[in-house]
Amino acid sequence: MQIVFTETPREGLFIERPNRFVARVKIKGEEVLAHVPSSGRMQELLYPGAKVFLLPKGGAHRKTPFDLILAHKDGILVSLDSRLPNLLVYRSLQKGALPPFGDGWRIEREVNYGSSRIDFRLQQGENTHLLEVKSVTLVQGQQALFPDAPTDRGTRHLTELTAARQDGYGAAALFIIQRADACTFSPNWNTDKNFAIALVRAAKAGVKVYAYDCRVTLKGVSLLGEIPVIL
């Protein structure tokens, strides 16, 4: 399964990030503003002089004419768009191309459960599964880590998945690593201990934890395969 870019991204040099969702980038000597489609810190990817790639985006209400979608790091491309993993998973589920789940599911997106909104509810007869998808961009020494900034929301999602499992539903957390250089995935204990504890507790309660890496090119992003999860 692949998400194909609408056109070839334009290369630029990152200047700064005035706030979480806006970046200043230089393209062929001209400074432009770009939307950053992620709330992650990504400090190891977005630093002055870093090579990045942008897609032009129109719209009457947009304040930024580009989306910042890729960064070049240690010889590879990293996808920065936190919306993209959800779409990759959705299309894979539609085609029955996500091995842990197979096909034949009725798929609902953005469903309420407890005090949270969960990315997917999968139903097949009397079987119901809740699935939460997380975007991962941080890799250290071939180990993918999430999160790269404290996330109370992410911890709450895991608490809801744990409750769902205890209520008899299937539940899973799926971490999509938007790069191809990770060999394993683990929670980022140093950045958010509460999230890491919640993930371990969820797994012990029966919540399935999966991690998939991606192939990222200037044409698009595709799922590669499952990698080991180390909790």
For residue range 122-151, what is the model confidence (pLDDT) as tens digits? 999 989 999 999 999 999 999 999 999 999
At residue 24 the predicted structure's pLDDT band, cuts being 50, 70 and 90, is very high
DSSP readout, 41-78?
--TTTS-TT-EEEEEE---TT-S-SEEEEEEEETTEEE
Q: Which burial class, exposed, middle or buried, applies to 200 when counting CB atoms under 10 A from its CB (0-12, 13-18, 19+)?
A: middle
- Which residue spans of the chain are classified as CATH 2.40.50.580? 7-79
Predicted local distance difference test score (pLDDT) of residue 213: 97
Q: What is the pLDDT of residues 30-80, one digit of tens each?
A: 999 999 999 999 999 999 999 999 999 877 678 899 999 999 999 999 999
The Cα 153–Cα 213 span in angstroms is 23
Partners of residue 53 on adjacent β-strands = 11, 70
Partners of residue 73 on adjacent β-strands = 76
Who has greater pLDDT, 12 or 63? Answer: 12
The Cα 169–Cα 32 span in angstroms is 47
Residue 91: pLDDT above 70? yes
Predicted local distance difference test score (pLDDT) of residue 58: 77
Residue 122 contacts residue 105 (beta carbons within 8 Å):
yes
Residue 50 contacts residue 72 (beta carbons within 8 Å):
yes
> Look-up: residue for tokens 């993918």?
144
The Cα 229–Cα 8 span in angstroms is 33
Predicted local distance difference test score (pLDDT) of residue 60: 67
Q: What is the pLDDT of residues 164-212, one digit of tens each?
A: 999 999 999 999 999 999 999 999 999 999 999 999 999 999 999 999 9
Please state which CATH number belongs to domain 84-226.
3.40.1350.60
**What b/e readout covers 27-39, taking b as 16+ CB neighbours within 10 angstroms?**
beeeebebbbbbe
> Look-up: residue for tokens 């990770």?
182
* Topology adopted by domain 7-79: OB fold (Dihydrolipoamide Acetyltransferase, E2P) (2.40.50)
- Which residue spans of the chain are classified as CATH 3.40.1350.60? 84-226
Among 111-115, 127-131, 157-161, 169-173, the least confident range: 111-115
